[in-house]
Chains A and B, each alone.
Chain A
Amino acid sequence: MIGDGFDAILAAAQRGDPNALEAIYRELAPGVLGYLRGQRAADPEDLAGEVFVAVVERIGGFRGDERAFRSWVFTIAHHRLADARRRAARRREATVDPRELAPLGPVGDVSEEAMAALGTRWALTALDRLTPDQRDVVLLRILGGLSVEETARVLRKRRGAVKTLQRRALAALARSIEREAVSG
């Protein structure tokens, strides 16, 4: 958290000050990137760039404290991720002649490639066993540092629904850890 200096940094960022914009990026980029990676976004780095540009474009209208700002940024990240997934789904639906794809080389399953790139990170494997909603809650709470209420606002769900998702996610993670321990 930026802390006491947040108001001044926000005001400077709203004026377009490069140093203030960088300070905001440094503070929030790890969480946003982690959220997008944990959600298995196809290109988390590019998507994170889109998120921060959108933050700058709308920062003039933001009013609130640092916690609200953090929640607001993750709301933008959540929406951008949903947009990217819709775009990807439309592309998959488009009919393409396989012969046109041949010069591009072999194409595998995106999620398998992502898993391979991430290696043997057991925590990520455990995350993959959660439902998308459960994963949203866990990532926003653990990586985003958001409260149950803030998570509910980001996901546009009721507080009780988020608590239920969280409880089930924790139970699933516990089972997953148990399996890892047994198989290890």
Chain B
Amino acid sequence: MRRVVDSWGEMDPFTPQLLEQVLAGATPEGREGERLAALVRELRADLLEEPPADLAMRHVAAMVAAASEAGPDRSRRPTMRTLTPRRAAVLALAAAMTLTGGLAWAGALPPAAQDAVAGVASHLGLDLPSSDDRPEAADHGREVSEVAHDPNLEGCEKGQAVAAVASEPSQAHRQDPSDRRDPCAAQDERGPVGLGQDAGTGAPAQDPGPPEGVPAQPPALGGATHAPGGPRAADGEA
């Protein structure tokens, strides 16, 4: 049996500093350092052994077999063919975006649909507006629609109310309308106002422009403008 020769006398505890020195390969001076170095040396001699050749061969063969089972590119994750929750969310969002034509991005879907699409998108880390933070344009259209369907309004007054609500977002861009005459009163005096004419003056109606938050249609490349659903304006002007 190997023995530590008791030539050191009374033993003091080994300190962490001594251990760090011994593990770094140094043999610290002093009795404690020598004893600790001897202990580490003995532990390594007893336990750190090269595996026998047959055992090493068996282990390496098992490792190679495991590597070949997993495929040649071990850094690549296996293809996910199962329907994982994330994959299902991606498919659902793709379907929703296809069906709604991007309205979800603008937050212009009906509240329930907008919330559903925004919920799916949030699982994927995408930030789509919910029905609570839809842009004003979407709410504006609903308000105009409500006024247009109001059964308490009729005739010129209904038209004026719809026009007022519809043009509300652009009021800030208009000239002071306070000097305009009451078109319904004028109608009473002169009969119906022609379509496309400013009530009272008979001049062409001023384009209220797009509602606030909805950009005007941008010019097409090359300066040509495209009329929706019609021929190019530039085609006729060229």
Instruction: List the interface of chain A (C-beta within 8 A of B).
Output: 13-16, 18, 21-22, 25-26, 29-31, 33-35, 37-38, 45, 48-49, 52-53, 55-57, 59-61, 118, 120-124, 126-127, 138-139, 141-143, 145, 163, 166-167, 170-171, 173-175, 177-178, 180-182, 184
Contact A145 B6 (CB under 8 A): no
Q: Which of B52-60, B141-149, B207-215, B223-231 contacts A (4 or more CB under 8 A)?
A: B52-60
Contact A56 B66 (CB under 8 A): yes
Whole-angstrom CA separation of A45 from B9 in the bound complex: 39
Residues from chain B with a CB closer than 8 A to the CB of A56 are 63, 66-67, 70, 74
Q: Which A residues lie within 8 Å of B11 (CB)? A: 174-175, 177-178
Kindly list chain B residues whose C-beta atoms are within 8 Å of the C-beta of A13. 67, 74
Instruction: Give Cα distance in the complex from A52 to B14, angstroms.
Output: 34
Q: With a CB–CB cut-off of 8 A, which chain A residues contact B97?
A: none
Complex alpha-carbon distance, A30 and B66, angstroms: 21
Q: In the assembled complex, which residues on chain B have CB atoms less than 8 Å from the CB atom of A139?
A: 47
Chain B residues touching A, range: 35 or more
Residues of B within 8 A of A177 (CB): 4, 11, 35, 39
Complex contacts, A49 vs chain B, CB 8 Å: 58-59, 62
- A166 with B23: CB separation less than 8 A: no
15 A-B pairs with CB atoms under 8 Å apart are: A13-B74, A15-B72, A16-B70, A21-B60, A52-B59, A56-B67, A57-B70, A60-B77, A118-B46, A123-B39, A124-B47, A142-B23, A142-B43, A145-B23, A184-B4
**Are the CB atoms of A181 and B4 closer together than 8 Å?**
yes
B32-50 vs A, CB cutoff 8 Å, 1 = contact: the mask equals 0001100110111111111
Q: Is the interface of A mostly helix, strand, loop or mixed?
A: helix
A170 vs B32: C-alpha distance when bound (angstroms): 11
Provide the bound-state CA to CA distance between A177 and B15, in Å. 15
CB of A123 within 8 A of CB of B43, answer: yes
Give complex CA distance A53, B70 in Å: 11
The smallest C-beta distance from A55 to any residue of chain B, in angstroms, reads 8
Listed residue (A13, A25, A48) with the most chain B CB atoms within 10 angstroms of its CB:
A25
Compute how far the CA of A180 lies from the CA of B11 in the bound complex, rounded to whole angstroms.
12
- The answer to whether B2 touches A121 (Cβ under 8 A) is yes
Q: With both chains docked as a complex, state the minimum distance between the C-beta of A182 and any C-beta of chain B, in angstroms.
A: 7
- CB-based contact B60/A22 at 8 Å: yes
Which residues of A have CB within 8 Å of B3?
122, 180-181, 184
Bound form: Cα–Cα A118–B42 in Å: 13
Bound: A126/B35 CA distance, A: 13
> Known contacts A33-B51, A177-B39: does B46 contact A167 (CB below 8 Å)?
no
Residue in B closest to A163 when the chains form the complex, CB atoms: B16
A25-B63, A30-B49, A127-B43 are contacts. A170–B73 as well, Cβ < 8 Å?
no
Q: Which chain B residues border A180 with CB–CB below 8 Å? A: 3-4
**Other-chain residue from B14, B51, B62, B71 in contact with A171 (beta carbon distance below 8 A):** B14
Interchain CA distance A52-B73 in the complex, whole Å: 18
Q: Is B5 an interface residue (CB 8 A)?
A: yes
Contact assessment for B68 and A16 in the assembled complex, using a CB-CB cutoff below 8 Å: yes
In the assembled complex, how far is the CB of residue B60 from the closest CB belonging to chain A, in whole angstroms? Answer: 5
When distances are taken between beta carbons in the complex, the residues of chain B under 8 Å from A174 are 11-14, 35
A181 to B51, CA, bound (A): 31
The answer to whether A170 and B62 touch across the interface, beta carbons within 8 angstroms, is no
Q: In the complex, which residues of chain A have a beta carbon less than 8 angstroms from the beta carbon of B50?
A: 29-30
Contact B64 A18 (CB under 8 A): yes
Which residues in A have their C-beta under 8 angstroms from that of B49? 30, 33-34
Contact B42 A123 (CB under 8 A): yes
B98 within 8 A of A: no
Contact at A166–B16, with CB atoms within 8 Å? yes
Question: Residue of A at shortest CB range from B65?
Answer: A53
